[in-house]
Structure 1
């Protein structure tokens, strides 16, 4: 396609901050100077400030996960209206329900239809095939591609890894982290929404064993979500409340990660998670659960360690293995090398532009 002539519509769910929103913003930055215009359509909570800075128009729609008849009619009407009024030529979806609407409304007949899959699924086979059948398919990782081809029988899937922009600094010291670091404590962070997916309860469950071996350890939980009160109660009941620093939702993740000794990803499922990439970008190794695309990023013993999902004991053992190292520099160097070679913003940018131009 001739990029200069295209009007692109990105559609995402994004009712909360997360990896998908980050990818959409990266694509906005990538294509803004190359195409005629970009429009973003997403749910409440999307980072409209970032779009405003890029002078990109935003349309808010109801939550794509809401399948009530009224909401589905509202979304259908709005999408038709946007495509017509903005003279859209390319629709790029980032959610299965978004792809469903494009297919249901036959918008793929008027526009080039692209979908990026960010997670693995094992349900709704006919629905998924229907939704993706007319799309040019991108998967954020090899496991996501394997899921699309093996589970749903879809073909011609291109892998483009997620990425994060490099951290340019300077580091802004977080007082609560500096305090404990100056006292000689290890700082071990877990970054993510406080939801079932992120498995924070298993991270909290691993803390007593780590503290027995390394009592001068503080666990930094960065994120917010519906399980916040439940997790706080678990920490109190488990006797580790005083060992945790709760930082809530933050938008300076790489800055905070650069002040940690180790990052933990305790997820139960992922597509290709951004957390390890963010950590690697500032040279911090990761202990992560071996689910879906995470082993594509973390190589056991090279730039971090892989643990069993839903297993606090194994998670504790892998964290202790890292803390036991006489020197942690090789793992830190490997983390940065992995980022530069495979998951930098430059790599993502070039891959997506090439993909668009090839259509």
Structure 2
């Protein structure tokens, strides 16, 4: 395939905060100079301005998870118009409903690619139909296994390219909230504020830790539908002086660089970017032992793994990293090694370009 002749449409639910949206931005950066044109369609979000800075056209569509007949008709009409107007040759979907709609338009001249970002167990018939006759790209081995075992996608239709992050080579911009006292420890959790991310258990663990180590400070970085509920929990547990909500930030590696370590309290994941972002700046993580995450975080090598939904185990692991400086430094060195050996952006870029060249 001649990449320079291709017009690529990235079809994603939103361009807001999240790992999927970050992957789309990375793909735009990689392919923007290699293909004829990139177009993105989504319901919008804070990252549309990044598309603007790359001079990539963005089309606004209704939220693709809405099932009312009017929305479905509008989405199909808008998608068909985009495909025709932009002479789209490749549709690259980043959501199961996006794959569903890209198949509905039934244009056999268009190559259909679907990236599976997460692990699911539901909507089996719909997902199987949407994925049929598509090129499937899984962001990790656990995601690929989910596609074959649950959705019966043939292995020959699946390629695996692990997520990566761009290296952080900038000067750290100090945030006043991260100014440290002599023996304080700064611990962060960077996530969408939703049930999936298990922040309830992170907050409960912070209360347990603060009783043993009062100088531990906990930060939640992100936005989401559970924000008020989580803030109410912090107030109920009298942890206002322990846990701070920092809202959305797009300078994630800059923030991680100023923390002592990260916590990932997720209940389920596909192949999360956050631990890779931590590794890229030489920080270790305490993470839940779930599919996807355990592909990246190796217990007692580059981080610590604990059972999900277990505040006490989470607290014990956090305290271990607080108290055992030499052990934490060993994990940090290995985390940086993991990034260089497995998740460097140059390697990811090479894989993506080769993948696109071989599409047919």
- What is the TM-score with the length of structure 1 in the denominator? 0.97
Shift of 1:132: 0.2
Shift of 1:318: 1.3
CA distance in 2, matches of 1:206, 1:352: 39
Kindly provide the CA deviation profile for residues 65-94 of structure 1, in whole angstroms up to 9, marking residues without a partner as x: 111110111000011111111111111000
Shift of 1:46: 5.1
Partner of 2:314 in structure 1?
A: 315
CA distance in 1, matches of 2:46, 2:109: 27
SS at match of 2:34: coil
SS at match of 2:66: coil
Runs of 4+ that moved beyond 6 A: none
Unaligned 5+ runs, structure 1: none
Partner of 1:177 in structure 2?
A: 178
CA distance in 2, matches of 1:208, 1:124: 38
Q: Which of 31-40 and 204-213 deviates more?
A: 204-213
Shift of 1:233: 1.4
CA distance in 1, matches of 2:162, 2:82: 29
Where in structure 2 are the equivalents of 1:50-199 lying within 5 Å? 50-107=50-107, 109-155=108-154, 156=156, 157-178=158-179, 181-199=180-198
Kindly provide the CA deviation profile for residues 36-81 of structure 1, in whole angstroms up to 9, marking residues without a partner as x: 1111111121512111111111111111111111011100001111
SS at match of 1:201: helix
Kindly provide the CA deviation profile for residues 108-144 of structure 1, in whole angstroms up to 9, marking residues without a partner as x: x121111101011101111111000011000001110
Partner of 1:352 in structure 2?
A: 352
Shift of 1:313: 0.8
Please tell me whether residue 245 in structure 1 is matched to residue 244 in structure 2: yes
CA distance in 1, matches of 2:194, 2:123: 23
SS at match of 1:242: coil
CA distance in 2, matches of 1:334, 1:288: 16
SS at match of 1:219: strand
CA distance in 1, matches of 2:194, 2:213: 28
Shift of 1:238: 1.3
- What is the TM-score with the length of structure 2 in the denominator? 0.96
CA distance in 1, matches of 2:196, 2:20: 15
